[in-house]
């Protein structure tokens, strides 16, 4: 199974004989069997597809992500048929209002994220001795924060964990920012819109990662909207936001590698009304590299969602109605 990225203007997408057919100027250019497509990501301007295409893809279990043509901002996600196991979602909803469960879940997520942030900077310090001071200070701060995760702190509230996560992020990005050339103007995380090349790439990569988390939760029978650390909110897949937190440092490290290897360079970006945009020619390179990098994270998400769903199913089965008890 593969991901099909479509990032060309003027494409028309049709379904012919259980295959996705791509047309340019009325001429068929490519045909891909639907059974080979696990994800479809569309970013090209003026791409044409109708509901029959989306329905056929959804029926086959293919998830579709629609991105804004230039900025790479998510517009919509179309998923396949929902999982039918109500026990999982019943238990998930119950756990969402269980403070002890939410705090324990949050503790694991935040600790894993900060530990991996530290690993990224420690690895970077071996390659960038010229930035020893910035990286040493950031690593020391992260170690101090990790030292606050003790057996006695197991009942720490989600609110206090957010404070630790925020403090860690400030120290981490101070060190991480030192890894990039000054000409990239990366001084820390910003978004909506991203204002420099590094943030433009981080935002796009996090969007793709979030899409994978939504898909993994959906396939496992979980509700992507019902999170435990990120509280449920209108229009936000809070569980997906939970799931990607420990993976963000791995994405950060990958982005840094793309700039080190010069696969991404300053000339690949443009600016428009304060927003920094990754150019079309470089996006193809970005997506190709992402597809090589993403399988490890996707596997982790799949395993995490499968385990969570299995545990919740056991809890939720007690609330299910037996068929013989149903009234019509």
Residue 325 lies in a domain: no
Token couple for 142: 């992260």
C-beta of residue 119 within 8 angstroms of C-beta of residue 135: no
List the CATH number of the domain containing 17: 3.100.10.20
242 and 201 assigned to the same domain: yes
111 and 257 assigned to the same domain: yes
Residue 256 lies in a domain: yes
* 3-class secondary structure, 70: coil
- Burial group, residue 324, by CB count within 10 angstroms (0-12, 13-18, 19+): exposed
**Whole-number average pLDDT of the chain:** 89
Domain boundary (78, 96, 126) is at 78
16 and 109 assigned to the same domain: no
Residue 324 lies in a domain: no
Residue 326 lies in a domain: no
The pLDDT tens digits for 87-143 are 999 999 999 999 999 999 999 999 999 999 999 999 999 999 889 999 999 999 999
| pLDDT in the model for residue 97 | 92
| pLDDT in the model for residue 30 | 86
70 and 94 assigned to the same domain: no
Task: Answer with the residue of higher pLDDT: 298 or 59.
Answer: 298
92 and 119 assigned to the same domain: yes
Domain encompassing residue 51: 2-78
C-beta of residue 5 within 8 angstroms of C-beta of residue 13: no
| Residue 153 in this model has a pLDDT that exceeds 70 | no
C-beta of residue 247 within 8 angstroms of C-beta of residue 119: no
95 and 66 assigned to the same domain: no
Rounded Cα distance between 315 and 243, Å, is 21
Token couple for 33: 């069997």
List the CATH number of the domain containing 150: 1.20.120.920
The pLDDT confidence band at residue 322, using thresholds 50, 70 and 90, is: low
| pLDDT in the model for residue 47 | 82
* 3-class secondary structure, 112: helix
120 and 145 assigned to the same domain: yes
| pLDDT in the model for residue 49 | 83
The pLDDT confidence band at residue 274, using thresholds 50, 70 and 90, is: confident
- Report which DSSP code applies to 236: B
| Residue 259 in this model has a pLDDT that exceeds 60 | yes
Measured at the CA of 182, the angle between CA 178 and CA 185, to 5 degrees, comes to 95
- How is 255-290 classified by DSSP, letter by letter? HHHHHHTTSS-GGGEEEETTEEEE-HHHHHHHHHHH
- Burial group, residue 318, by CB count within 10 angstroms (0-12, 13-18, 19+): exposed
Task: Please give the tally of structural domains in the chain.
Answer: 2
The pLDDT tens digits for 168-220 are 999 999 999 999 999 998 988 888 889 999 999 999 999 999 999 999 999 99
Q: Which residues pair with 30 in a beta bridge?
A: 22
| pLDDT in the model for residue 146 | 94
| Residue 45 in this model has a pLDDT that exceeds 70 | no
Residue 127 lies in a domain: yes
184 and 152 assigned to the same domain: yes
| pLDDT in the model for residue 328 | 45
Measured at the CA of 282, the angle between CA 281 and CA 285, to 5 degrees, comes to 110
The pLDDT confidence band at residue 266, using thresholds 50, 70 and 90, is: confident
Neighbours of 234 (CB within 10 A): 5
């Amino acid at each position: 199974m593969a991901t099909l990225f479509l990032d060309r203007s003027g494409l028309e997408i049709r379904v012919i004989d259980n295959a996705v057919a791509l047309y340019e100027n009325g001429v068929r250019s490519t045909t891909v069997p639907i059974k080979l497509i696990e994800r479809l990501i569309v970013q090209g301007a003026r791409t044409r597809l109708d509901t029959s295409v989306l329905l056929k893809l959804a029926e086959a279990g293919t998830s579709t992500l629609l991105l804004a043509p230039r900025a790479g901002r998510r517009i919509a996600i179309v998923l396949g048929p929902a999982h039918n196991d109500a026990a999982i979602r019943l238990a998930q909803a119950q756990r969402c209002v269980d403070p002890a469960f939410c705090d324990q879940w949050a503790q694991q997520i935040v600790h894993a994220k900060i530990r991996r942030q530290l690993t990224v900077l420690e690895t970077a310090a071996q390659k960038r001795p010229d930035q020893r001071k910035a990286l040493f200070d950031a690593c020391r701060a992260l170690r101090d924060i990790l030292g606050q995760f003790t057996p006695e702190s197991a009942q720490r509230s989600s609110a206090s964990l957010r404070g630790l996560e925020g403090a860690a992020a400030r120290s981490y990005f101070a060190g991480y920012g030192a890894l990039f050339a000054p000409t990239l103007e990366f001084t820390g995380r910003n978004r909506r819109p991203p204002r420099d090349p590094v943030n433009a790439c981080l935002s796009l990569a996090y969007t793709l990662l979030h899409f994978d988390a939504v898909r993994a939760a959906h396939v496992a029978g979980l509700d992507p909207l019902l999170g435990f650390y990120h509280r449920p909110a209108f229009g936000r897949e809070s569980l997906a936001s939970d799931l990607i937190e420990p993976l963000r440092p791995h994405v950060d490290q990958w982005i840094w590698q793309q700039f080190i290897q010069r696969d991404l360079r300053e000339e690949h970006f443009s600016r428009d009304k304060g927003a920094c945009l990754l150019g079309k020619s470089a996006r193809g390179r970005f997506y190709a590299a992402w597809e090589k990098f993403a399988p490890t994270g996707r596997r982790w998400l799949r395993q995490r969602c499968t385990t969570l769903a299995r545990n919740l199913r056991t809890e939720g089965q007690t609330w299910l109605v037996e068929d013989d008890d149903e009234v019509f």
